[in-house]
Amino acid sequence: MLELIDIGANLAHDSFDDDREDVLKRASQAGVVQIVVTGSSVDSNPAALDLASKHPELIYSTAGVHPHHASEYNDDSDRQIRTLISDERCVAVGECGLDYFRNFSPREAQLAAFQRQIDIAIDSGKPLFLHQRDAHDDFIEVLEPALPKISRAVAHCFTGEHESLREYLALGLYIGITGWICDERRGAHLHEIVSIIPDDRLMIETDAPYLLPRTIRPRPKSRRNEPMHLQEVLRTVAEARGQTVEHVAAITSANARRFFDIKSVA
């Protein structure tokens, strides 16, 4: 069976509270051998690390504050991230960045929280797990000066256009592709550009419970996404790149292990 790594799943989300262990079993049965559970708030950060502690080798975590929660960012949340990121099972700073699509937090608060989390990545040596939506210019303006001091960074859940992809690649970013590419309406453009991502910069993710691939049949009644559906992302990405699923599984897993500095499953 192919071995896959889901670099972004929100398994601390309360939609998994009733069947989290079953979700992990289904993931393993689908070939998902390691999962990075995303931390995105002061509540989900310790919950993500707790999952990693309970499932060594299978689960790793991140710690950060999503731009939607940026107005809540303060010295306490900064200390929390710094403490959690010192644990070897917490492998990246984020999810952090800018989101001007909904502006759930004021832009000034988003910019300030983003900069503080960049500083944590610089100080800790851990990579950045990045979020950007409708904020490209400000995102680049804040991020680019710091990149020489950051170990690695990934544009999580990339949904942008050709120009922004080229710019991210030129800056040295890794690219995370989700089930967005399986959406024949919103993700059609990704089929045209995913092939320009070099083999050594591509990773795949579900962003569960969000972004259930629209190509899955039959569709789950709950419409909840989960890591086992990474197989569908893999299939669609491989088809769009003109590569075999075996090749894409191998390169994305190798990239994830190198990026997050996680070991192969024994």
Residue 131, pLDDT > 80, answer: yes
Residue 218, pLDDT > 90, answer: no
Residue 128, pLDDT > 80, answer: yes
Domains (range + CATH), the chain: 4-260 (3.20.20.140)
* pLDDT, tens only, 62-115: 999 999 999 999 999 999 999 999 999 999 999 999 999 988 999 999 999 999
Residue 266, pLDDT > 70, answer: no
* pLDDT, tens only, 171-198: 999 999 999 999 999 999 999 999 999 9
Residue 226, pLDDT > 90, answer: yes
Say what the alpha-carbon torsion angle 245, 252, 171, 85 is, to the nearest 10 degrees: 150
Instruction: Give the torsion sign (CA, 41, 20, 215, 235).
Output: positive
In this prediction, residue 102 carries a pLDDT of 86
What span, in angstroms and rounded, lies between the C-alpha atoms of 45 and 158? 22
* pLDDT, tens only, 142-171: 999 999 999 999 999 999 999 999 999 999
